[in-house]
Structure 1
């Protein structure tokens, strides 16, 4: 038997519906099959975003998007899981959202034309810009103290961080590897780096 995601219509019919502006009548009537945490079942998207905003982490995530990187959606999905403050897309405005599994609806996503304008914003916001890439001169992320409020900057899958991004970064960290491949998938690298921050600064939570 195939496992069903989510929940069906609220049992007992319309007369039994709970009340509250955060609840979506359509979901109560037809069921909520979205990939959301159980505490958000039947909630409107806007209500979920408002609630998440009350407890977002001071971690920002930035992604260079000069070509057609299909990993951006995966990075956005992970950023949603860790409830980051904001996701920044640098370069091309359009990006493949399929891998995000609509999680971008619950995040604040901001676009930047280039690295220079984004780096200026980071400076004005007092957010250290930390690049993640295994380039010469980078240091291991393992055991590295990460600032509580900062930006983790990721490059494209094939090219990695651009030269401009490396120069703008306060430091560049890499994830230690021990096999034959030169690099790991960009989406996987972003997840590892974000979790490294979480392990240092975020309180544990249930499933």
Structure 2
């Protein structure tokens, strides 16, 4: 029987594969291997085809999460999930890219993970049964909720200073934020649009709002 170190990249279990194929990432690490507990012997032997930045090549998932935890940002992301919105995966992927503190799923526990491109393995996720439980959690953590939706009375995101500690809350594609979500939001911000469409994709809106926070607070 072959050891884990003897396996090729194609033979590695799914936990090492993000679905990008053998053309992505790096091959086996030349010997001698690094003497560092953060490195995964299986990845060193077979190569690393995961959707991670180069600094994390060959690292274990646990080591990557631990390193991210030292520099996650002060904003949370929450999204309502009442009908398996396919945009949630995209929101999670963007939250990972911008190092959000946590992603909160409100409503159904199961969500479409395909758009996350396996980034949910490295992102802290928290589930809430309803908006009230989300609001109670946020209040207990002194994290104001900022709704993102083009609603009457919403303030323009482009001219608004987001709180450094905050939770960006997004509704579902189509209906947007529920009435309950609006009630618990400290403010609601709209994203300026200049074309004919009534709204933009929820995943795109989430990326714009997160980047607005990044522009103001992140160390580039």
- Which of these residues, 11, 23, 27, is aligned with residue 30 of structure 2? 11
Residue 21 (structure 1) shift: 1.1
- Which of these residues, 197, 200, 207, is aligned with residue 213 of structure 2? 197
Is 1:42 paired with 2:58? yes
Write the distance in 2 (CA, Å) between the matches of 1:121 and 1:17.
45
Question: Which position in structure 2 is the counterpart of 1:26?
Answer: 42
Write the distance in 2 (CA, Å) between the matches of 1:147 and 1:118.
18
Aligned to 1:79, the other structure's residue is in SS state: helix
Write the distance in 1 (CA, Å) between the matches of 2:199 and 2:35.
51
Question: Which position in structure 2 is the counterpart of 1:112?
Answer: 128
Residue 3 (structure 1) shift: 9.3
Normalization by structure 2: what TM-score? 0.89
Residue 111 (structure 1) shift: 0.2
Aligned to 1:130, the other structure's residue is in SS state: strand
Residue 4 (structure 1) shift: 2.5
Aligned to 1:195, the other structure's residue is in SS state: helix
Question: Which position in structure 1 is the counterpart of 2:110?
Answer: 94
Structure 2 gap ranges (5+): 1-20
Residue 35 (structure 1) shift: 1.1
Is the contact between residue 22 and residue 49 of structure 2 (CA under 8 Å) also seen in structure 1? Answer: no
Question: Which position in structure 2 is the counterpart of 1:162?
Answer: 178
Write the distance in 2 (CA, Å) between the matches of 1:63 and 1:196.
17
User: Following superposition of structure 1 onto structure 2, how do residues 37-76 of structure 1 map, counting pairs within 5 Å?
Assistant: 37-76=53-92
CA RMSD of aligned residues (A): 1.2
Question: Which position in structure 2 is the counterpart of 1:135?
Answer: 151
Residue 137 (structure 1) shift: 1.1
Count of aligned residue pairs for this structure pair: 200
Write the distance in 1 (CA, Å) between the matches of 2:42 and 2:36.
14
1:162-186 CA distance string (max 9 Å, x none): 0000011000001000000000000
